[in-house]
Amino acid sequence: MKALAALDAAMGRLYTLIGTAIGLSIGLFAVAIVVDLVLRLFEIGTLPGYQEIIEYTLFAGVFLGAPWVLRLGAHIRVDVLVGVLPHKAARLLDRLLDVFGLLISLVLAWYGLQNLLTAFEFGALQRKYFNVPEWWLLSVFVLCFALLALEFVFRLARSSGGPGGLSGTEPPESRKGV
């Protein structure tokens, strides 16, 4: 299980990198909007296509940020039921929900992959300011749900505790308060 633990740690570093890139891109959005407004105010021109770049970057950021949010336990959860259950029952429910999340993520990744392959085969394009192949966008979707499935596997391994499981019940990042 050392390989699983090493992969878990590597994925944590990857998610931190993705989160940092998302944060930097949001900062750049603010700069681009101000620059575009100043260019328009002084009738110099505009930044062509920047809104579309922001749109695609937000799309990628939301989807690629989801596994990181799940890893940190910052995802939306309803703890009302878990809070009133005995510890063992709450832990079992949490594991069952992780299995359910894993299955849903695998199904969505599979169907996303089918759509990706179809879009690639037909050469489908998103036609706006830029012509973007649809399979590029669908690859973000598929990658997101593949990473979510992997993170659910890590969560299940962490919750199993003992031999064969990952040490601790939370990823190292969440214990550091990242």
Contact in structure between 169 and 158 (CB atoms under 8 Å): yes
Contact in structure between 131 and 74 (CB atoms under 8 Å): no
pLDDT reported for residue 2: 87
Residues of the domain holding 149: 2-176
pLDDT reported for residue 165: 55
Q: Count up the domains in the chain and report the number.
A: 1
* Mean of pLDDT values over 86-106: 93
Length of the chain: 178
pLDDT reported for residue 169: 46
The tokens for 80 are 């009302």
Q: What is the mean pLDDT of the chain?
A: 88
pLDDT digits (tens, 9 = 90+) for 2-31: 888 899 999 999 999 999 999 999 999 999
pLDDT digits (tens, 9 = 90+) for 141-157: 999 999 999 999 999 99
pLDDT reported for residue 155: 93
Return the H-helix or E-strand segment holding 148: helix 134-160
Q: Which residues contact 16 (CB under 8 A, 6 or more apart)?
A: 68, 173, 178
pLDDT digits (tens, 9 = 90+) for 39-65: 999 999 999 999 999 999 999 999 999
